[in-house]
Amino acid sequence: MEYAHPDVLLTTDQVEALLHDTENYRIVEANENPLLYAAGHIPGAVQVDWLTNFLHPVRRDLMSPEEFARLCSKLGIGPETTVIFYGDQSNWWACHALWIFSYFGHAKCCLMDGGRGKWFNERKPVSWDVPVYPETHYPVPTVVPNIRAYRDDVLRHIERGGKLVDVRSQLEYDGIVTHNPDFPAEAAMRAGHIPGAINVPWNTAVTEQGTFKSADELAQIYCREGKLHPEEEVIVYCRIGERSSHTWFALTYLLGFRSVRNYDGSWTEWGNMVGVPIERNTARATMPETPMHTEAS
């Protein structure tokens, strides 16, 4: 069994071969820790910061289409530019950036398998220079709404018995912890999961090297064990939408699921809303909820 869309997932060797083609390709680094870029990056790569570049400065939402167009123009990205994403945490934030670009209708997006860790482990070229490319005139895009889910979409999805995947750790899913103590802004009043959601932690999809598992292994995890079907609509979520972007990528591009939506409000929204249903694994979840580090899970 092969990946459904193998051309979207590039090897480090393929990316290395494209380093000098800055006219057609733009390499973009997206990390949880934005300071990593200054410590060395792929030559020619530009940086995006999920917090300052992609989110509205006041409202809990993504940037506007106009702001997206300005960001692409500043980075020297045109509508026909193929954008190659990579980053830390086995490409959490790279997948999040790719999902955002896809949401704003940028069709030519790829991911470097294994991310920043694999590139550095293979001792491939590293640069400390910050490149500047000629500014483009990126047109204001129209969003692609069918890859994003809002809270009302999730409520309707629950009512009709739709499939949901909670990609957080089991501790978060069971309702034992609500967030990483290092990220108090991502806290929620309640712990648990959305009713009916299955728990498939994001890292189930990757190897110890941070690369995606084979198509057969992914199908075993999501289709045979998780009982998901490629023709059914699936909504994925985590705590703030980054880990679920990773699973969204795996289901959409590697397994060829037809309709996967990322609920980027995720648990920071759902766990803080009044009147929405939650479930907890009462056999394991006890009060008080003790936060602990769960990012590696």
Q: Give me the percent of the chain exceeding a pLDDT of 90.
A: 86
Give one DSSP letter per residue of 217-234, joined into a string: HHHIIIIIIT---TTSEE
Q: Is the peptide bond before 201 cis (omega within 30 degrees of 0)?
A: no
**What pLDDT is recorded for position 178?**
78
* Domains 6-143 and 147-270 fall in the same CATH topology: yes
Backbone angles phi, psi at 113, to 5 degrees: -60, 130
Indicate the pTM of the whole model: 0.93
pLDDT of 287 strictly over 70: no
Tokens of 230: 């490629």
**What pLDDT is recorded for position 229?**
97
Which residues are the active-site residues?
238
Cα separation, 246 vs 32, in Å, equals 13
| CATH for 147-270, options being 3.40.640.10, 2.40.50.100, 3.40.250.10, 3.40.140.10 | 3.40.250.10
**What pLDDT is recorded for position 285?**
54
Using 50, 70 and 90 to split pLDDT, how confident is the model at 296? Answer: very low
Domain coordinates in residue numbering, the chain: 6-143, 147-270
**What pLDDT is recorded for position 18?**
98
Q: In this structure, is the dihedral angle defined by the CA atoms of residues 244, 246, 247 and 252, taken in order, positive or negative?
A: positive
Kindly state the average pLDDT of the residues 146-175. 96
Q: Is the Cβ–Cβ distance between 219 and 226 less than 8 Å?
A: no
Q: Is the Cβ–Cβ distance between 96 and 30 less than 8 Å?
A: yes
**What pLDDT is recorded for position 188?**
82
35: CB partners within 8 A, 6+ apart: none
> CA torsion angle for 48, 56, 145, 82 (degrees, to 10)?
-20
Q: What is the pLDDT of residues 1-50, one digit of tens each?
A: 899 999 999 999 999 999 999 999 999 999 999 999 999 999 999 999 98
pLDDT of 292 strictly over 60: no
Q: What is the mean pLDDT of the chain?
A: 92
What three-state secondary structure class fits 206?
Answer: strand
Kindly state the average pLDDT of the residues 54-63. 80
The CATH number that domain 6-143 falls under is: 3.40.250.10
